[in-house]
Amino acid sequence: MEKIKQRGKYVVVVIDEVDNSTVIREFAQLFSAMKRLDLPLFALMTGLPDLVLDVQTADRLTFLLRADKVALSPLNLVAMTRTTPLLRRSVNE
């Protein structure tokens, strides 16, 4: 990580379907420790809002409470077919 930092690069960890499992809590604790060392590490986590909230409040992971969050609405098939020709063609077939 120090070599990555020296080169001005970053590491992004992407986790889909976050839950309050032991592995996710361990990752969050490790991530927090690495951020305290000012290492170039970023995390992008997705999941159901209630499960993300469970992880945020577990084990006093307050850095997750301060993290930026984006709530997305469900996908809209009608809007997607209007803007995506390939999808429009496959839906009409």
pLDDT in the model for residue 13:
94
CB contact at 8 A, 4 and 40: yes
* CA–CA distance, 77 with 67 (Å, rounded to integer): 30
> Mean per-residue pLDDT for 8-21?
91
**Residue 2 near residue 29 (C-beta atoms within 8 A):** no
State pTM to two decimals: 0.65
Range of the domain at 9: 2-92
Which of these, 39, 37, 35, 33, lies nearest to 7 by C-alpha position?
Answer: 39
* 13 three-state secondary structure: strand
Amino acid at site 66:
R
pLDDT tens digit sequence for 36-92: 899 999 988 888 888 877 877 765 666 667 777 777 777 777 766 666 666 555 545
Structural domain count of the chain? 1
Residues paired with residue 12 on neighbouring β-strands, in sequence order: 42
